[in-house]
Amino acid sequence: MNAPRRAMIDSQLRVSGVNHERVLAAMNVVPREDYVPAAARGHAYIDRAIPLGGARALAAPLFHGMMLSEALPQSGERVLVVTAGSGYLPALVEAMGALVDSLDAADVLKAKRGAQSYDLILIDGAIEALPDGLVGALSEGGRIVTGLVLRGVTRLASGRKLGGTTQLLPLAEVGIPVLGEFAPAKSWSF
């Protein structure tokens, strides 16, 4: 077993309440160092986000552990992962047995609504607004787990599509890189 991965699990995830065995097993087998720039490989398991270049970052392991514990992707489920420049989260979801499609956050607003609908959507970062296109890609009864920016604070959030709409419920404050692609249009007011 990889010592830094084991330390991440024992000293970051378990002590913070991430204890679901399927989540820990996935985080144990997927080498996080393969998803960061070469210069950051020695720091791949630290408990903070790792810059990937530009405005992108790989979220801290705790965010991914909390997200996967909330979502609990099941074997055979169709999952869309909106990525933030790294393939780490899709690899974790695949390790849990789900069928994964990935879409870069920069492409979400440009993407055409296809025939595919998803049981679960995971957004690998914090958003200020949930695009209608993602709600449309979620099957009725499907769930979404993301980071959410509320009054400048990032939180893990979860929702379910019911009656064609999805509301996100904030669950826990946690440091999450913000995805600028999801920022609402700026407006001026008094």
CA pair distance 135, 84, nearest whole angstrom: 19
DSSP-derived 3-state class of residue 51:
strand
For residues 53 and 66, the model is more confident at: 66
- Backbone region of residue 147 per phi and psi (left: phi > 0; alpha: psi in -120 to 50; beta: other values): beta
CA pair distance 150, 133, nearest whole angstrom: 21
pTM of the complete model: 0.92
CATH topology of domain 3-182: Rossmann fold (3.40.50)
Q: What is the pLDDT of residues 77-115, one digit of tens each?
A: 999 999 988 999 999 999 999 999 999 988 886 766 566
H/E stretch holding 78 reads: strand 78-83
Average pLDDT, the chain: 91
State the first-to-last Cα distance of the chain, in angstroms, to the nearest integer: 58
Listed by start position, the domains of the chain span 3-182
CA pair distance 97, 172, nearest whole angstrom: 26
Q: What's the pLDDT score for residue 174?
A: 94
CA pair distance 86, 95, nearest whole angstrom: 16
pLDDT (mean) for 30-51? 92
pLDDT (mean) for 12-37? 95
